[in-house]
Amino acid sequence: MARKTIADLEEELRLEKEKSAGLQMEIDTVPVADIQTGDEIDLAAENAELKKALAANKSHTAESESRLMSMIKGMEEAGGDTGACLTFTPDEYKAYSAESGLIMGRKPDQKVKCTIEELRAAINSDKTPSWLMEKTGMTENDLQQLIWRLSAKELRDNPIKLNIKRDFFGKEA
């Protein structure tokens, strides 16, 4: 291998500078807004797929709606009995459970585990502590423990107040 002279090295450097200047000019001519990152490309592809799925769902809407309406009409004609399942209002379900020897679907001596998410939903729905205790079979102490866990999960300074005598969940102060 022959040794390169300074002139050869200078020529290589000049060619590299020209190449670099050409690339820099190409970069400078592209608007910044047109340059997409990998995440933007992925999001654009995902967005296109979601648009296709949305279009497919919209195309089935009339067909699905007519099928649903025929099912509802059949349920109404059968008096709410679909054969496989019954549809009830909450009061009807409570009465139906009582006829079956149950309390809101649970056995009288059974406790149903209530999560803090279910507790939050009950509070937001203006349900009373007595309703929640009847539904789940919890005691006052169990409910208080659950309220403290919910308060800790929500990072509250003051826990949610429970007033069994007034049958009330306290609002935030």
pLDDT in tens, 94-119: 888 889 888 888 888 889 899 999 99
Residue 147 phi/psi, 5-degree rounding, is -65, -40
Q: In this structure, what token pair is assigned to residue 91?
A: 């009061």
Q: Compute the distance between CA of residue 113 and CA of residue 44 in angstroms, rounded to an integer.
A: 43
pLDDT band at 173 (very low <50, low <70, confident <90, very high): very low
All residues at 6 or more sequence positions from 92 whose CB lies less than 8 Å from its CB, including other chains: none
Give the pLDDT of residue 8: 85
Mean pLDDT, residues 121-132 = 88
Residue with tokens 């939050």: 120
Of residues 63 and 8, more confidently modeled: 8
Element (H, E) at 126: none
Q: Which of 114, 91, 117, 113 is nearest to 104 (CA)?
A: 91
Other CB atoms within 10 Å distance of the CB of residue 103: 18
More confident call, 78 vs 158: 158
State yes or no: pLDDT of 166 exceeds 80: yes
Residue 169 is classified by DSSP as: E
Q: Does the pLDDT value for residue 35 go beyond 70?
A: no
Residue recorded with tokens 């820099």: 24
Q: What is the DSSP string of 57-76?
A: HHHTHHHHHHHHHHHHHHHH
Mean pLDDT of 53-63: 72
Q: How far does Cα 64 stand from its chain's mean position?
A: 24
Least confident range from 47-56, 75-84, 116-125, 156-165: namely: 75-84
Amino acid identity, position 134: E
Tokens (6 digits) for 7: 């002139």
- Is the pLDDT at 76 greater than 80? The verdict is no
Q: What is the pLDDT of residue 145?
A: 92
